Structure formats: structure tokens, C-alpha cells
Structure 1
Amino acid sequence: MLKVILPAPKLIHPFGVAARELRVHNRPLFLLQRDLLEKYTTREIELQPGEHLPQRREEMLVYRNNLFFDRGYIDTFIMMARKTGRACRAAFHAEAPAFREHALPLSTSYTSAGNIYFADLWYYPRGPVADARPMLINMEPSELGYYHVPTYMADQSGDLVFQVPIRSLLAIDSWVHIFIADVVFGVFATGLRFEKRLKEDLGFKIKVLGKALYEGRQVLECSELVKIGKDCVIDPKAIIHGPTIIGDGVTIGAGSVVENCIIGDNVNISQDCQIMLSVVGDGTFLPFKSALFMTTVMDNSMVAQNTCLQMCVIGKNTFIGAGSTFTDYNLIPAPIRAMDGNNELKNSNRPVIGGCVGHNCRIGAGMIIYPARTIESDVVLAASNERRVIDKNIYFKDSDHHKLRLGHLHMTPYHQKEESW
């Protein structure tokens, strides 16, 4: 099958790069797409902006390169599309819970037609045609609460909940969609699929229990749920619960707790760190008592000691200073607004959400960042009496390095044309 990749050149704020370059599940999005489609496609064409689809009479899969999809979704889409023998386009019903709650808010990539929203994923059995039929795939969501809170922070039940799907498709138009792809459609969905398989597959259940008994561990700690790479050094006093994937060359210190995470290669997690429902990129350093909850940290970044990140997205090569706190909840019950795909502030549809820091940033110690605030790539923020609370989005022009005597020493690869601010 021929694979045709459509460009999504719009840059994602605050990173300043296209979605295909951002890391999802600790992989660049374009590599994640390529690996999931490897068993179906033998050739590929990557179109340039404005270039038309190749007019070839052959089986073809066409998709936009800002789409995140998992194995369950793409396998089901191709299988069902092939059964129809007709041209098909991925679609969602407006009331589908996971799509309505998590994919649609802040998005700009979907095309609406009444109660149906179309995504940029097509299957053509004999080349491109105009009348592709909508392919509505049940994402099989389950409502999962992640902690119990007072009712003034949530709905009448007092729970903050996600609609977690078994299979996922999501257009990455906003930094919030990285959070959704990694956490809601990522580590949460992995846990849900494990629980579902444990209930439905007796052989798998016996295998997991047998492995736990053989290793003398609790079920969540056994090697069936905790996958550890090569050359890792893990202190016996560290606690690791699955489903968790740990890469090669990882160090985890005494007293650290890792629960339901994706940990990349060459990550250093020092003593007494708390990492839950998070994705940690290759080469990341977490000094003692760092805390990540439902947070993405991309490759080669550092989150210093006594810093707490909740429901945040942190870019690559970024430093977050000691004792900083990213808040995630408006004390006054006003909707939390975040940047959408057009760089406009819109309702995030999230009662609780943290902030986002771009690539190559340097954030000083003791900062307090309000919910859903963003800090653009290449920014330096030095803690001072005038600036310790970040209550608005910070852009490159606001960076403190512009007014520092040695500010020229700070490299700004994402704003090379603007170094003269």
C-alpha cells in the first residue's frame, strides 16, 4: 500500500515547531506514525504545501502529519475500510465522549458536517476519489476519575474524570493535545487496556499472577507490567508500579516512586522523586524530591529539586529551577483558557490543567506559574522581586536574556532571526 503524507506546517505554540517534530509517547510524532504503519505500507510520498495527491490507481493511505493514532485505532480503521472496498475517511460523532471532551476542544484540524467531524485520514482502495464515506470507529471510552476533590473543583460527584479510550485518534493542534495524547490517550489508556485484558483473558491473568508469584513481587511490580531496559541501575528501595516502560541506561535512586509511566533512555531519577502517570524523555535529569504528576517532559531537560509539575508539558533542552510550582486550578471557578490551533485563547474544557514551557528555556528557581500559561521556546526567566509569579503567557520578546549584559551567551535556535530584540 502507498502511504501519502500531507503537511501540517502550522507551528505549535509555544514550541515554535510543527506537530510532526514534537514528541508523543517519547517518540517524534512522525516516527511514531511511521512505525505504526510499517506493516501496511511499502512506499511513501511526503507532499509539500499546496501539492496535489498523486493520481494513481492503487491502494493508498493518506493522512496529515499532525495526527496521533495508536495501534488499536489504525488497525481497526484499515481493517474496516478494506472490508467496505470503498474510499473511507476517519470521522467522529459530535457526541462521542472521548472526542467531545478531549479531541475537539482547542482543535482546528477537523472538518464538520452536521453532527459528524472528519479527520485528515483517508483510505482509497483504487486511488483518490471525491466521495469518501465517513468511517465512524468506536473508541470504546471509559470514564475514569483520577482523584476525588471537593465539589467546588469538579462536578456534583466531586470527581475529576477523563473519557479514556481503548483506541485513539487525535489531531495535535495545541500543546494541550500533547498532554491528552501522552496522558489520557497514553498512560491512562495503557492501564485501561491492561485491566480489560486481565478481566477478559484468563490465560493472561494466570500468566501475570504466575510471574508475580515466581518473582516474589506484587502484581503491579512484576516484570509482566514493568518493562526495564538494558544497563539500568535501580535502587532496591525504589517503588515501581506498572504498567511502566523504562528505557536503557536509566538510574533510579532510593525512595523514588514511579507509577504508570513511560521513562526514556539515559534518564537519571534521584532520591525521593515522585513520578506518576507521566512521560519522561531521553536524557532527562530529575534531582532529589522532584515531582511529576500527569506531565510530559521531553528529552534532555531538567526539573530541579523540590519542583512540582502537575498536568504540564515541558519541551526539550529546558531547565526548570528548584522550588518552582506550576499551579493547575483557578481559585475562582472561571473556565481555564488555553491556546488553540490558531494561537487564540479558548476554553480548554479542562477544570484542571497545568502550564507549558517550550524548547530550550531556562526558568529560575521559586517561580509560580498560573494554570494554562505558556512560556515560549528560548526564553530565560530569572527570578526577581519583580517577577516570581507568571500570570500571563511569556513570549520570546519578554525573555530576561535580552536585558542581561551577557545575554548574548544564551543560544536561541528557535528564534535565530529575532536575536536582536
Structure 2
Amino acid sequence: MLKIILQSRRPIVPFNEPARDLRVQNKPLWLLQRDVLAPYTTREIELPPGAPLPQVHEPCIVYRDNLFFDDDYIRAFLEAAQKANRPVRAAFSITDPAFREHILPLSLSYTPAGELYLADLWYYPRGPEPGAEPLVIDLLSREIGYYHIPLYMAASQGDLVYQVPLRSLIAIDSWVHIFIADEVFGLFGRGARFEERLNRDPFFKLKLFGKALYEGRQVLKCSGVVQIGRNCVIDPDAIIHGPTTIGDNVTIGANAVIENCIIGDNVNISQGCQLMLSVIGDGTFLPFRASTFMTTVMDNCLIAQNTCLQMCVIGRNTFIGAGSTWTDFNLLSAPIKARDGAGQLRLSNRPVLGGCVGHNCRIGSGMIVYPARIIESDVVLFASKERRVIDRDIYYEDSDHHRLKQANLHKRLYPRPGEEASESW
């Protein structure tokens, strides 16, 4: 099958990079797409924006490169499309809870069609042709609780829930969609599929119990649910619960706690760190007592000691100083707004949400960041009497390094489109 990739060059705030170059599930999005489609396709064509589809006469799948999809969705989509044997386009129903709650908010990529929303994913059995019909794939969503807010803090709600799909398709139009793809659809979805298989497949359950018994471990600690790469050094006092994936050359110190995470290669997790429902990118270093909850940390970051990140997305090559806290809940129950793909503030549809830091940032110690605030790529924030609380979005022009005579010591690596020529280092 031919794969036709439609480029989306819209930069995602605050990274100033298109979605295809950002990491989802600890892989660049373009690589993740390639791996998912590898069993079905033999060759590919990549088209710039506005280019016409090639006139070929063979089965082909066409998609925009800002889409995150998983194996389960693509398998169901292709099976239904090939059975129909006609041109189809992926679509969502507004009644689907996962689409309504998590996919549609802050999005720019879907085309309304009555009660349906069309995604940029097509299948053509005989080559591109007009008239593709909408194809709705059931995401198999289930409601999963993740947070409890005391009633004295939020009178209208106690338990907070996600609508977790067993099949995932979402366009990355905002940093919030990276959070949704990684934590809600990725890690929560992996846990939901694991539980579903346990309930459906008694032989899988027996095999898992047998492996745990043979290894002398609890079920969630055995090698059937905790996958560990090569050349890893893990202290015996570390607690690791699955489903968890740990890459190669990883060091985990004493009393570290890791639950349902993806840990990349060459990661160093020191004593007392606590990681829950988080994706930690390759080459990241977490000194003692650093904590992440439902957070994505891209590659080659340093999250210093006693820092707490909750429901955040952190770009690559970023340093966050000791004792910093990213909050995720408005003490007064006001709706949380976040930046969409066009940089506009819109309702996030999230009662709790952390913040986002771009690439190549340097954040000083002891910062407190309000919910859903963004810090643009290449920003430096010094810890000072004047700046301890981040209550607004921070852009490159606000970076503290501009005040130094040695400003050129921090180079701008991720300028906004059209600003490349203005930088001279």
C-alpha cells in the first residue's frame, strides 16, 4: 500500500516547531506514525502544503503529519475501509465522549459535517479520487477516574474523570493535545487495554500470575508488565509498578517510585524520585526527590531536586531549577484556558491542567507556575525577588538573559516562523 503524507507546517506554541517534530510516547511524531503504518505500507510520498495528490492507481492511505494514531485505531480503520472497498475519510461523532471531551477542544484540524467531524485521514482502494465517505470508528471509550477534589474546594464536583479510548486518533494542534496523547490516550489507554485483556483472556491472566509466582514478585512488579531494557542499574529498594517500559542504559536510585510510565534510554532517576503516569524522554536526568505526575518530559532535560511537575509538557534540552512547582488547579473554581494551535486563548475543557515549557529553556530555582501558563522556547528565567511566581505566559522577548551583556551565551535555537533572519549569533 502507498502512504501519502500531507505536511502540516503550523508551529505548535510554545515550541515553535510543527507537530511532526515533537515527541509523543517518547518518539518524534513522524517516526511514531511510520512505525504504526509499517505493517501496511511499502512506500511513501510526502507532499508540501497545497500540492495535489498524485494520480496513482493502487490502494493508498493519506494522512496529515500532525495526527497521532495508535495500532488499534489504524487496524480498525483499515479493516472497515477495505471491507467497504470505497474511498473513505476518518470521522468522529460528536456523541463520542473521548472526542467531545478531549479531542475537539483547542483543535483546528477537523471539518464539521453535520453531527460528524472529519479528520485528515483517508483510504483510497484505487488511488485518490473525489467523494470519500465519512467512516466513524468507535473509539471504545471508558470513563476512568484520576483525581479527587474535596467538596469544600469545588462544590459542583468531586471525582474527576477522563474518557479513555482503547483506540486513539487525535490531531496535535496544541501542547494540550500532546498531554492528551501521551497521558490520557497513551498511558491511561495502555492501562485500560491491559485490564481489558486480563478480563477477556484467561490464558493471559494465568501466564501473568505464573510469571509473578516464578519471579517471587507482585503481579504489577513482574517482568510481564514491567519491561526493562539492556544495561540498566536499578536499586533493589526502587518500586516499579507496571505497565511500565524502561529503555536501555537507565539508572534508578534507591526509594524511587515509578508507576505506569515510559522511561527512555540513558535516563538517570536518582534517590527518592516519584514518577506517576509520565513519559520521560531519552537522556533526561532527575536528581533526588524530583516528582512528575501525568507529565511529558522530552529528551535531554534536567529536572532538578524537589521540583514538582503536574500535568505538564516540557520541551527538549530544558533545565528546570530545584524546588520549582507547576500547579494544576485554580483555587477559585474558574475555568482554565489554554493556547490553541493559532496561539489564541480558549477554554481547555480541563478542570485541572499544568503548564508547558518549550525547548532550550533555563528556568531558575523556586519558581511557582500557575495552571496552563506557557514558557516559549529559548527563554531564560532567573530566580530573583521580582520573579518567583509565573502568572502569565512568558515569551522570548521576556527572557531574562536579554538584560545581560553576555546575552549571546544563550543562543536562540527555535525562533518563530519569519524571525530566523532577525537572529545573528
TM range (shorter): over 0.9
Which amino acid counterpart does residue 318 of structure 1 have in structure 2? T
Report the aligned-residue RMSD: 1.2
Aligned to 2:195: 195
Query: Quick check: 1:17 aligned with 2:17?
Result: yes
CA contact (8 A) 2:149 2:157 kept: no
Question: 1:177 maps to which residue?
Answer: 177
Q: What is the aligned-residue identity percentage? A: 67
154-163 or 267-276, larger mean C-alpha shift: 154-163
Scaled by the length of structure 1, the TM-score of the pair is: 0.98
Counterparts of 2:133 and 2:155 in 1: how far apart (Å)? 38
Give the partner amino acid of 1:35: D
The residue aligned with 2:239 is: 239
Deviation of the 1:151 alpha carbon: 3.2
Match of 1:4 in 2: 4
The residue number in structure 2 matching 1:408 is: 408
User: Where does 1:49-64 land on structure 2 (aligned, <5 Å)?
Assistant: 49-64=49-64
Q: Deviations over 1:283-317 (max 9, x none)?
A: 00000000000000000001000000000000000
Alpha-carbon distance in 2 for matches of 1:380, 1:305 = 19
Structure 2 residue identity aligned to 1:316: R
Contact 1:144 / 1:162 at 8 angstroms: preserved in 2? yes
**CA deviation string 1:203-241 (max 9, x = no partner):** 000000000000000000000000000000000000000
User: How has the CA–CA distance of structure 1 residues 228 and 394 changed in structure 2, closer, same or farther, with 3 Å as cutoff?
Assistant: same
Q: Is the 8 A contact 1:154 1:160 kept in 2?
A: no
Which residue in 1 is equivalent to 2:102? 102
Any residues of structure 2 matched to 1:256-405 within 5 Å, and which? 256-405=256-405
Contact in 1 for aligned 2:154/2:333 (Cα 8 Å):
no
Change in CA separation of 1:67 and 1:154 when aligned onto 2, cut-off 3 Å: farther
Asked whether the 8 Å contact 2:266–2:284 carries over to 1, the reply is: yes
Shift of 1:417: 3.8
Counterparts of 2:377 and 2:145 in 1: how far apart (Å)?
33
Distance 2:155 2:189 in 1: 23
Residue in 2 that maps onto 1:250: 250
Q: How far, CA to CA, are the matches of 1:119 and 1:266 in structure 2?
A: 36
Q: How far did 1:199 drift?
A: 0.6
Residue in 1 aligned with 2:215? Answer: 215
Distance 1:417 1:23 in 2: 26
In the TM superposition, what is the alpha-carbon distance from 1:419 to its structure 2 partner? Answer: 3.9
Q: Aligned letter for 1:178?
A: I
Q: 1:417 to 1:382 in 2, by over 3 A?
A: farther
Deviations 1:374-405 (A, max 9, x none): 00000000011111111111001111111112
How far apart, in 1, do the equivalents of 2:311 and 2:153 lie? 15
CA contact (8 A) 1:373 1:393 kept: yes
| TM-superposed deviation, 1:155 | 7.5
- TM-score of the superposed pair, with normalisation by structure 2: 0.97
Give the partner amino acid of 1:159. Answer: D
Q: Closer, same or farther in 2 for the Cα pair 1:344/1:240, shift >3 Å? A: same
Say if 1:107 and 1:174, in contact at 8 Å, map to a contact too. Answer: yes
Instruction: Tell me by how many angstroms 1:111 deviates.
Output: 0.4
CA distance in 1, matches of 2:292, 2:256: 12
Contact 2:275 2:293 in 1 (8 A): yes
Gaps of at least 5 residues in structure 2 are none
Aligned residues of 1:154 and 1:351 also touching (Cα < 8 A)? no
Q: Aligned partners of 1:413 and 1:8: how far apart in 2? A: 20
Structure 1 counterpart of 2:266, one-letter code: N
- Secondary structure at the counterpart of residue 236 of structure 1: coil
| Structure-1 separation of matches of 2:228 and 2:222 | 11
Partner of 2:144: 144
Deviation at 1:156, TM superposition (A): 4.6
Counterpart Cα distance in 1 of 2:422 and 2:261: 37
* Equivalence for 1:41: 41
How big is each residue's C-alpha offset from its partner over 1:122-148, in whole Å with a ceiling of 9 and x where there is no partner?
Answer: 000011122111111110111001122
Structure 1 residue 10: Cα displacement: 0.2
Tell me if the contact between 2:290 and 2:308 (Cα under 8 Å) persists in the aligned partners: yes
Q: Does 1:204 align with 2:214?
A: no
Counterpart amino acid of residue 352 in structure 2: V
Deviates most, 23-32 or 153-162: 153-162
Shift of the 7–331 alpha-carbon distance from structure 1 to 2, 3 Å rule, reads same
CA distance in 2, matches of 1:11, 1:82: 34
Q: 1:409 to 1:244 in 2, by over 3 A?
A: same
Pairwise CA distance, 1:45: 0.3
Q: How many residues align?
A: 421
Q: Would the aligned equivalents of 1:151 and 1:159 in 2 still touch at CA under 8 Å?
A: no
Q: Equivalents in 2 of 1:314, 1:360: separation in Å?
A: 10
Partner secondary structure for residue 338 of structure 1: strand
Structure 1: runs of 5 or more not aligned: none
Separation of aligned partners in 2, 1:291 and 1:373: 19
